[in-house]
């Protein structure tokens, strides 16, 4: 558990900046934006560094800040994005080829920001549901339902057919 000194902050940050940047990149899809997200996250962390003695899982706490920075940034402009602004004339069949990566990223951007975060943390960062719940400070049930809603939205945007029912029997 950290005790609040600058040297401990530096030791913590230097050991985790690469991982934080990767998470921010997976969330945002942009290396530049990832750097901005991590910069803001480290700034917020330092602003609180002296006062986080009670935090048992500092990594989850820092990831929560990071996700919050990402979600807040997305919320500023997300609802302004019109689905019709980017939809191609015909939905792609399978976005699993490298050249479809931008399309998949654009589709993910059409998912509400918090659901985006859930999908990325679960399926790109490979975190178990309980870890995602701790990061997002919500229940595991909320993580599961947000996953379902996010995937349904993503599948709809990609034109992949009927959405999944909201049964929560799957997951790690």
Partner 1 sequence: MIDEEILAPLRGDPPGQPRIDVPRAMVEGLRRRRHRQWASGVAVAAAVALAATGGLLTTRLHAAPAPVATTPPPTSCTVSRLPTVDGRWTSVVAGDPTGYLLGAMFPSHTQPGFAPVIWKNGKIVARPKVATGTELVDINNQGDAVGTLDQLPSPLSQAYAVHDGRTITLPGGLSGAKGINDAGTIVGFLGHGGPQRGDQKPDSVPVRWSSPDAAPQKLAVPAGYAWGEASGIAANGTTWGVFGRDVQPGDPSETGALWLPDGTLRLLTPPPPMAGSDHFFVPEALVGNWLYGRLSVGLEFGTLQRARYNIAENRFEQLPDLEDDPGAYADNGWTIGIRTLHSGKTTTQQAILQAGPTAVTLPGPYTNRVSMLQVGAISPDGKSVAGSNNWLIDGQDLPVNGTFLWTCK
DSSP track, 116-169: HHHHHHHHTS---HHHHHHHHTS-HHHHHHHHHHHHHHHHHHHT-SSPPPS---
CB–CB of 129/171 below 8 Å?
Answer: yes
String marking each residue 87-116 x if it binds partner 1 according to CB under 8 A: -------xxxxx-xx--xx--x---x-x--
Q: Rule CB under 8 A: is residue 9 a binding residue for partner 1?
A: yes
Smallest distance, Å, CB 69 to partner 1?
8
Q: Rule CB under 8 A: is residue 22 a binding residue for partner 1?
A: yes
CA distance 32 to 48: 25
Angle at CA of residue 52, ends 15 and 32, nearest 5°:
45
Residues of the shown chain interacting with partner 1 in the complex, contacts defined by CB under 8 A: 3-4, 6, 9-10, 13-14, 17-18, 21-22, 24-26, 29, 31-32, 34-35, 38-39, 42-55, 65, 68-69, 71-72, 75-76, 78-79, 94-98, 100-101, 104-105, 108, 112, 114, 119-120, 123-124, 133, 137-139, 142, 151, 154-155, 160, 164
């Amino acid at each position: 558990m950290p005790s609040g000194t600058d040297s401990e902050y530096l030791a913590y940050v230097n050991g985790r900046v690469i991982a934080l940047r990767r998470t921010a990149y997976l969330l945002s899809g942009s290396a530049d934006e990832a750097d901005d997200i991590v910069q803001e996250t480290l700034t917020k962390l330092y602003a609180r560094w002296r006062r986080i003695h009670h935090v048992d899982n500092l990594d989850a706490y820092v990831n929560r800040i990071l996700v919050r920075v990402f979600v807040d940034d997305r919320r500023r402009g997300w609802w302004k994005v019109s689905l019709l602004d980017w939809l191609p004339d015909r939905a792609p069949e399978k976005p699993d080829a490298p050249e479809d990566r931008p399309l998949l990223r654009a589709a993910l951007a059409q998912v509400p920001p918090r659901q985006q975060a859930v999908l990325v943390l679960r399926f790109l960062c490979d975190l178990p549901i309980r870890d995602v719940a701790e990061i997002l400070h919500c229940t595991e049930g909320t993580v599961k339902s947000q996953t379902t809603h996010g995937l349904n939205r993503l599948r709809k945007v990609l034109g992949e057919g009927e959405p999944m029912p909201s049964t929560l029997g799957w997951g790690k």
